Amino acid sequence: MDAQTKMARAITRLVVSHPFFGSVALSVRVEHDTSIDTMCTDGKSILWSPDFVDGMTGEETTGVTAHEVMHIVMKHPLRRGERDPERWNIAADYAINGILLESGFTLPAGALYDPQYNGLSAEAIYYRLPEDVVQELGTLAKMGEVIDLDGLSDAEKKQLEADIDAKVMMAAASAKAVGKLPAAIDAIVQRMKRNQVDWLDVMRRFIGGDQPDDYTMRRPNKKLYHTAHVFAPSIEKVGVGDVVLMTDSSGSVHDSELQYFLGGMNALSEELKPSSITVITFDSRVQTVHRYEQGEVIDNIKIGGRGGTDVRAAFDYVEEHSLNVDNCVVFTDLGIYRYPEAPDYPVLWVSSVGDATPAPFGETTYLKRED
């Protein structure tokens, strides 16, 4: 059987037996490319080497094609950022191969799989990999590669992300209708749906409640005045108590994500007027603690440590120092192995990683970037 026929049969097998994967595969360009060594994807297409496909069985070809589909579903080409490409590819493979094996696919010998990484995002795995992992495993990660998207503009990346979301939702709905949506894929889709919720809206509700404190005509509603020339009262906030903001400063959370989160917190501080905001940065231990009184600007989140993650240290600090806590917000990638026992105050987890497993207590929302 030639490589072209083998690939055609692989796509057909996906459509018939694994409709979610088949639907996504049919929605992108799939074609041979003699300039590459294996299979790869840029989120818009799946390219395959005839020599590589010739060396696999039909079942393995189907499995590797599904592997590329998963890279698209998880948006791995869009999520690498400034990370090392080879190390990122290894982490991304570990993140998806367990799902593929659980879904009944056959992967070639040597495919990267380690149960310790099951359920973790590629970002969390990336920082848990050994330092020499590229030298040790780099060749094994060539089964299916993620192509860099450095040439795309921010607007093009946004459009690609929206296109992938639409394809995944459509594929999931079709597979679910015939009872063939794997549980692991369903969980991913549910997290993607949650990602469509603006995290700032969730934080407004969480910290400020669903009802306004009061209305005032001292500052009329500007939006209604400019749009309808109507004088109407604006919402007056009288404060929402003491807020503790725990920020993960481990190596897996990027400075840009922290600064974006910081901007949102300043906006909510001005809007909701908490009595105080105590910012605790932590990795495997508490790094910095700074208290801001009502109206003060959180000018910077000082980063320290950049080690592993142990969120228990921040919760222990709150208890040991008897901090007043009306609401607690934790910004993290949720790459957490051990959680503390649930405290007696409300906790909101804001994850910088969209496919991270929700925390075992409190409420979890996901960072939705607009830039």
Q: Same domain for 282 and 177?
A: no
pLDDT tens, position by position, 116-152: 998 888 888 888 898 888 887 766 556 667 777 767 8
**8 Å CB contact between 283 and 305:** yes
Q: In degrees rounded to 5, what are phi and psi of residue 145?
A: -105, 160
Asked, for residue 254, whether it belongs to a domain, the answer is yes
Q: Output the pLDDT for position 214.
A: 53
pTM recorded for the entire structure? 0.63
List 347's β-bridge partners, or say none: 328
How big is the chain by its Cα radius of gyration, in Å? 23
Helix, strand, or coil (residue 194): helix
For 134, residues 6+ apart whose C-beta sits below 8 A from its C-beta are 84, 86, 87, 90
pLDDT surpassing 50 at residue 370: no
Asked, for residue 206, whether it belongs to a domain, the answer is yes
Q: What are the tokens at 29?
A: 């360009």
Share of the chain above pLDDT 90, in %: 42
DSSP string computed for 36-53: SSSEEE-SSEEEE-HHHH
Asked, for residue 319, whether it belongs to a domain, the answer is yes
Asked, for residue 259, whether it belongs to a domain, the answer is yes
Q: Same domain for 226 and 119?
A: no
Q: Same domain for 107 and 207?
A: no
**8 Å CB contact between 196 and 353:** no
Q: Same domain for 147 and 207?
A: no
pLDDT surpassing 70 at residue 194: no
Q: Output the pLDDT for position 15.
A: 95
pLDDT surpassing 70 at residue 237: no
Last-in-domain residue among 151, 170, 189: 189
- How far apart are the C-alpha atoms of 370 and 348, rounded to whole Å? 21
Q: Same domain for 169 and 258?
A: no
CATH number of 360's domain: 3.40.50
Domain of residue 119 covers 3-189
DSSP assignment, residue 340?
A: P
Last-in-domain residue among 189, 210, 238: 189
Q: Which residue has the higher pLDDT, 3 or 304?
A: 3
pLDDT tens, position by position, 314-332: 999 999 999 999 999 998 8
For 234, residues 6+ apart whose C-beta sits below 8 A from its C-beta are 215, 216, 219, 220, 221, 222
Q: What mean pLDDT comes out for the span 235-240?
A: 55
Q: Same domain for 140 and 243?
A: no
- How far apart are the C-alpha atoms of 49 and 43, rounded to whole Å? 17
- How far apart are the C-alpha atoms of 56 and 370, rounded to whole Å? 42
Q: Same domain for 253 and 182?
A: no
Last-in-domain residue among 189, 224, 239: 189
- How far apart are the C-alpha atoms of 360 and 24, rounded to whole Å? 31
Helix, strand, or coil (residue 245): strand
Asked, for residue 194, whether it belongs to a domain, the answer is no
Contacts 24+ apart (CB under 8 A), 147-154: 147/40, 147/41, 147/42, 147/77, 148/77, 148/80, 148/85, 149/42, 149/43, 149/77, 149/78, 154/371
Asked, for residue 70, whether it belongs to a domain, the answer is yes
Specify the range with the lowest mean pLDDT, choosing from 125-134, 157-166, 182-191, 249-258. 249-258
pLDDT tens, position by position, 333-359: 888 888 999 999 999 998 877 767 889
Q: Of 356, 307, 310, 360, nearest to 333 (Cα)?
A: 356
The H helix count followed by the E strand count for the chain is 14, 12
Q: What mean pLDDT comes out for the span 98-122?
A: 91
Q: Same domain for 172 and 131?
A: yes
- How far apart are the C-alpha atoms of 230 and 171, rounded to whole Å? 46
**How many domains does one find in the chain?**
2
Q: Same domain for 248 and 134?
A: no
- How far apart are the C-alpha atoms of 235 and 265, rounded to whole Å? 19
pLDDT surpassing 60 at residue 210: no
Strand order in the sheet with 144-146: 29-32, 45-48, 39-41, 144-146
Asked, for residue 223, whether it belongs to a domain, the answer is yes
Asked, for residue 371, whether it belongs to a domain, the answer is no
pLDDT surpassing 50 at residue 288: yes
Q: Output the pLDDT for position 188.
A: 83
- How far apart are the C-alpha atoms of 8 and 216, rounded to whole Å? 67
pLDDT surpassing 60 at residue 215: no
Q: Same domain for 100 and 245?
A: no
Q: Same domain for 216 and 255?
A: yes
Q: What mean pLDDT comes out for the span 274-294?
A: 89
Q: Which residue has the higher pLDDT, 213 or 174?
A: 174
Confidence of residue 221 (pLDDT cuts 50, 70, 90): low
Q: Same domain for 278 and 171?
A: no
